[in-house]
């Protein structure tokens, strides 16, 4: 099958199940799903998979010339895709489009391809810099459910304790999956907790891995920023093979990325030294605003083995290792700075937090068809361990005596660990029923699941936290040590049926019982009316729920600044309760959506939505409370904050996507695409004693209200040119939660241009050059008064949605085999 035919087949498959909304770029035209190849190969070998066993998106390809806006396929549990209810919008982004963005990690690529998603290059300071976070439709990262091959992925151990965008979140990290392992990503822009799983208040993201039976690819990329720093090397590969001759497969993928740091901080405003030297000293000493130096290695396998008698064993695993060094607050060597030992750091101290992370997940199960039902029984285990340290540092208390009998020359410290695990086992079933009185079959999907979650913090070495603690990141004291767990029991059922040949309904219900919380029920009602094969409208009403993570309940973090310390303390601690903390509750939501799907003419696709999301008891970090006292085991604490139920919020939003494919005989193929998303968050009510201007701005305006993007992808013989124009709306930046830094500063809207040119010297070899932020656009410079509050560090907004590093160029090559 030719590459063009494959692309047409994938496009029709997406449109046929009525939920396909092409993302901006080359997504829909890139490749047919690798699972389609598997089923085609199985058929060629006279071992065809039964139609009910095929994913819905693949079943639709049996009539490739027909393009339907509506239509519904059996939601078999055999499919790695999310249940494809045509009453719910699902945007498909292929692996080819992810690579087309020029980004190395999955999250950055997905955010560039899909306007409903925003991510900050640097979510916050300190440990919050290690893991990027994602906002779908303007909501918290914790309000998006992450799935891999349709099964829940474990969350990370990194609680975003430092003030900044997505403050207080603990999401799953999709960057730990090799980008070459991905066949496509399904973005569910619907708050359908009842249909897809708890936590899907904003929606869900399902990463579907390749299921090829032969071939592979090798990719290399070198990138750097116009400013001359931030060089990165990225290498990735994938390889597939058939297992047996009955449709089994094994897909392996690996990726290694090494990123050198960038520096975009301003000159140091304060006194660097005493005396005349201070007047002539170089003030370009701060390294806290920039991408951290990091190395990430990821591996994945996706396997299926027919066992005979209708049973099929499958296994999906990912493993990753990340090392990162994050620059902290620079400490000048002046007499009034008791944080610096001049014998160790005569020119001042630039400390770094280090992280060594090991993340692993394996999902294994059996699929079979018995008693007229399709069954999926599975066991999944995920574990994320993050080991923290501080280097190029000191503990000034050790040098000053104070009763501490330790080595005053120590510059590296072990700060402790955070560990999260998730064990899941479940059974799902599906079946299509013929009733005789309805025009089409009723599709039933149901299941039950048990999960065991744990979160653990370990103590750092005594020198890391005693006295003033290690500069600039004290280790975990004995008070921070925790080991918590909970059990979750969950059951769900979904029905999809047509009351007329054109009118479809979806009903869903889910019940979840948490050992440390209450039993929660959520529901979903969706409907869709197909006027004809080209036009349809749909509407949904959903309720949702998201419990606090164990890390949000028990995490402890100390954030020292020159002259003061802010501690994030567990909400269940005696210290937090003395400042008004109460037992954390989960978030409850309700959402309403109305949308349209259309194919006005062949090759032109259009989809749009208007939505409303209301969240009660929305969680977040409280304002900082002044303490200014010595606390046994913590030392002198200036202020504290804790995680709490702070707000009742509402979001009004909408999105519109469209694409048109133009095939010309003389000039090749053109694909035009556009995407628009806007979301306006409002606070209906809040706990006034726990919030302030800073905490409110983080909820309302830390991400842009609107994003727009247009693109064109031109393919002509051996050449391919991709151009994308993105617009980011304004956002509000606040440098710090207290003091002069808590003044809101508006970052202006910006236009960002991305471009890539590819050439194929031979059919299987591609070389390319490209640039992200081609025009070298920087965010609005922070006002001098706000920059002064951090001694010049905050030159740009650290959580700017398009970064603060300016333009990035890259060259790449790939070889298919």
**β-bridge partners, 525:** 507, 541
For residue 583, pLDDT over 70 is answered with yes
pLDDT of residue 782: 92
306: CB partners within 8 A, 6+ apart: 244, 246, 247, 248, 312
Tell me the β-bridge partners of 58: none
* pLDDT for residue 72 is more than 60: no
How far from the centroid of its chain's Cα atoms is residue 631's Cα?
Answer: 37
pLDDT tens string 412-456? 999 999 999 999 999 999 999 998 899 999 999 999 999 999 999
Q: Residue 159 pLDDT > 50, yes or no?
A: yes
Q: Is this structure's pTM higher than 0.85?
A: yes
624 vs 535, higher pLDDT: 535
Q: What is the pLDDT of residue 400?
A: 53
Mean pLDDT over 227-255 rounds to 96
Residue pLDDT, tens place only, 473-499: 888 988 889 999 999 999 999 999 999
d(CA 351, CA 331): 8
Rounded Cα distance, 458 and 478, in Å: 8
Query: Partners of 811 in the beta sheet?
Result: 222, 769
In contact, 506 and 526? CB cutoff 8 Å:
yes
Q: What is the pLDDT of residues 273-327, one digit of tens each?
A: 888 888 899 999 999 899 999 999 999 999 999 998 889 999 999 999 999 999 9
H-state helical runs in 183-295: 193-196, 277-280
Per-residue pLDDT reduced to its tens digit, 679-695 = 999 999 999 899 988 88
Run of H or E residues at 648: strand 643-664
At a CB cut-off of 8 Å and minimum separation 6, what does 371 contact? Answer: none
Mean pLDDT for the chain overall: 86
Place of tokens 């890259």: 810
User: Rounded distance, CA 133 to CA 142, Å?
Assistant: 9
**What are all long-range contacts of 661-665, with beta carbons under 8 Å and residues at least 24 apart?**
661/29, 661/603, 661/604, 662/603, 663/603
Query: Between β-strands 635-641 and 564-568, what pairing exists: parallel, antiparallel or unpaired?
Result: parallel
H/E segment holding residue 10: helix 3-16
- The stretch 601-624 carries a mean pLDDT of 94
Asked whether the predicted pLDDT for residue 103 surpasses 90, the reply is yes
Q: Report whether pLDDT(24) > 50.
A: no
Q: Is the pLDDT of residue 148 over 70?
A: yes
Instruction: Pick 14 or 324 by higher pLDDT.
Output: 324
For the four alpha carbons of 329, 332, 336 and 342, in that order, the dihedral sign comes to: positive
Q: Is 4 left (phi over 0), alpha (psi -120 to 50) or beta?
A: alpha
3-state secondary structure 297-347: EEEEEEEEEEEECCEEEEEEEEEEEEEEEEECCCECCCCCCCCCCCCCCCC
Confidence (pLDDT) at 705: 92
Band of pLDDT at residue 634, cut at 50, 70 and 90? low
How far apart CA 251 and CA 240 sit, in angstroms, is: 4
Residue 449, H or E segment: strand 442-457
Tokens of 446: 């149901």
Q: For residue 124, what pLDDT is reported?
A: 67
% pLDDT > 90, the chain = 62
DSSP secondary structure of 653-715: EEEEEEEEEEEETTTEEEEEEEEEEEEEEEEEEE-TTT--HHHHHHHHTSS-SEEEEEEEEEE
Nearest CA among 238, 236, 189, 183 for reference residue 27: 183
Helices 34-44 and 3-16: crossing angle in degrees, nearest 10, is 110
pLDDT higher at 35 or 589:
589
% of residues, the chain, pLDDT over 70: 86
pLDDT band at residue 509 using 50, 70 and 90 as cut-offs: very high
Answer with the residue of higher pLDDT: 623 or 544.
544
User: What per-residue confidence (pLDDT) applies to 658?
Assistant: 95
pLDDT digits (tens, 9 = 90+) for 585-610: 999 999 999 999 999 999 999 999 99
Of 24, 38, 218, 49, the C-alpha closest to 110 is 24
Q: Are 615 and 652 in contact (CB under 8 A)?
A: no
Complete DSSP assignment for 410-432:
---EEEEEEEEEEEEEEEEEEEE
- Grade residue 153 by pLDDT with cuts at 50, 70 and 90: very high
> SS3 of 74, please?
coil
Kindly state the tokens that stand for 31.
Answer: 């490749």
393 or 559, greater pLDDT: 393
With vertex at residue 617, the alpha carbon angle to CA 612 and CA 621, rounded to the nearest 5 degrees, is 110
8 A C-beta contact, residue 814 and residue 748: no
Cβ–Cβ < 8 Å for 311, 282: no
Is omega for the bond preceding 472 within 30 degrees of 0, making it cis? Answer: yes
CA-CA distance, 410 to 205, in Å (whole number)? 45
What is the reported pLDDT for 161?
A: 77
Instruction: Tell me: pLDDT of 69 over 60.
Output: no
């Amino acid at each position: 099958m030719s590459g063009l035919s494959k692309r047409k087949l994938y496009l029709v498959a997406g449109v046929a199940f009525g939920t396909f909304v092409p993302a901006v770029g080359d997504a829909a035209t890139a490749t047919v799903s690798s699972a389609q190849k598997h089923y085609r190969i199985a058929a060629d070998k006279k071992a065809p998979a039964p139609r009910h066993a095929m994913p819905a998106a693949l079943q639709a390809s049996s009539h490739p010339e027909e393009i339907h806006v509506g239509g519904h396929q059996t939601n078999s549990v055999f499919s790695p895709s999310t249940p494809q209810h045509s009453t719910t919008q699902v945007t498909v982004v292929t692996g080819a489009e992810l690579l087309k963005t020029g980004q190395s990690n999955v999250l950055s690529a997905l955010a560039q391809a899909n306007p409903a998603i925003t991510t900050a290059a640097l979510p916050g300071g300190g440990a919050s810099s290690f893991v990027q976070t994602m906002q779908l439709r303007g909501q918290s990262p914790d309000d998006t459910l992450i799935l891999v091959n349709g099964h829940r992925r474990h969350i990370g151990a990194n609680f975003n304790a430092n003030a900044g965008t997505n403050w207080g979140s603990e999401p799953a990290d999709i960057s730990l999956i090799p980008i070459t392992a991905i066949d496509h990503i399904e973005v569910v822009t619907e708050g359908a907790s009842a249909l897809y799983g708890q936590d899907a208040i904003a929606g869900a993201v399902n990463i579907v891995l390749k299921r090829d039976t032969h071939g592979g690819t090798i990719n290399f990329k070198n990138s750097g920023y116009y400013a001359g720093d931030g060089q990165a090397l990225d290498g990735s590969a994938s390889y597939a093979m058939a297992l047996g001759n009955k449709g089994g497969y094994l897909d392996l993928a690996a990726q290694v990325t090494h990123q050198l740091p960038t520096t975009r901080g301003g000159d140091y405003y304060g006194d660097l030294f005493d005396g005349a030297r201070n007047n002539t000293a170089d003030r370009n000493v701060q390294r806290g605003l920039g991408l951290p130096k990091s190395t990430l290695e990821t591996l994945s396998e996706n396997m299926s083995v027919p066992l005979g008698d209708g049973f099929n064993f499958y296994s999906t695993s990912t493993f990753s290792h990340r090392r990162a060094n994050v620059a902290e607050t620079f400490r000048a060597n002046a007499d009034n700075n008791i944080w610096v030992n001049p014998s160790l750091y005569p020119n001042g101290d630039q400390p770094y937090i280090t992280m060594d992370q090991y993340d692993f997940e394996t999902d294994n199960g059996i699929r079979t068809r018995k008693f007229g039902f399709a069954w999926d029984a599975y066991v999944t285990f995920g574990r994320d361990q993050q080991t923290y340290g501080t280097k190029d540092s000191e503990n000034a208390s050790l040098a000053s005596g104070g009763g501490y009998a330790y080595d005053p020359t120590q510059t590296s410290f072990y700060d402790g660990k955070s560990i999260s695990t998730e064990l899941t086992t479940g059974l799902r079933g599906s079946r299509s029923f013929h009733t005789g009185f309805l025009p089409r079959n009723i599709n039933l999907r149901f299941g039950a699941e048990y999960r065991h979650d744990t979160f653990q913090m370990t103590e750092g070495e005594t020198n890391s936290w005693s006295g003033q603690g290690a500069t600039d990141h004290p280790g975990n004291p004995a008070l921070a040590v925790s080991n918590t767990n909970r059990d979750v029991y969950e059951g769900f059922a979904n029905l999809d049926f047509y009351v007329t040949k054109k009118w479809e309904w979806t009903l869903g219900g889910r019940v979840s019982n948490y050992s440390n919380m209450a039993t929660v029920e959520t529901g979903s009602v969706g409907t869709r009316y197909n006027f004809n094969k080209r036009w349809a409208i749909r509407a949904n009403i959903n309720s949702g729920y998201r419990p606090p993570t164990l890390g949000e309940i028990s995490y402890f973090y100390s954030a020292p600044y020159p002259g003061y310390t802010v501690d994030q303390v567990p909400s269940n601690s005696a210290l937090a309760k003395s400042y008004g903390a109460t037992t954390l509750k989960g978030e409850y939501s309700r959402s309403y959506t109305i949308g349209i799907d259309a194919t006005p003419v062949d090759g032109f696709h259009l989809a749009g939505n208007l939505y409303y999301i209301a969240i009660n008891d929305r969680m977040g970090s409280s304002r900082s409370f002044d303490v200014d006292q010595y606390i046994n085991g913590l030392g002198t604490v200036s202020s504290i904050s804790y995680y709490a139920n702070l707000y009742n919020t509402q979001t009004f939003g909408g999105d519109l996507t469209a694409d048109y494919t133009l095939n010309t005989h003389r000039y090749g193929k053109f694909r035009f695409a556009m995407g628009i998303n806007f979301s306006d968050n409002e606070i209906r009510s809040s706990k006034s004693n726990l919030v302030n201007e800073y905490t409110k701005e983080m909820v309302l305006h830390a991400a842009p209200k609107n994003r727009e993007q247009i693109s064109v992808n031109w393919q002509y013989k051996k050449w391919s040119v991709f151009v994308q124009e993105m617009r980011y709306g304004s956002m509000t930046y606040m440098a710090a939660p207290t003091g002069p830094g808590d003044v809101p500063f508006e970052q202006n809207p910006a236009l960002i241009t991305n471009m890539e040119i590819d050439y194929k010297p031979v059919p299987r070899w591609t070389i390319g050059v490209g640039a992200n932020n081609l025009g070298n656009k920087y965010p609005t410079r922070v006002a001098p008064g706000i920059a002064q509050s951090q001694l010049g560090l905050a030159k740009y907004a650290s959580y700017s949605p398009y970064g603060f590093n300016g333009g990035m160029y890259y060259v790449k090559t790939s070889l298919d085999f």
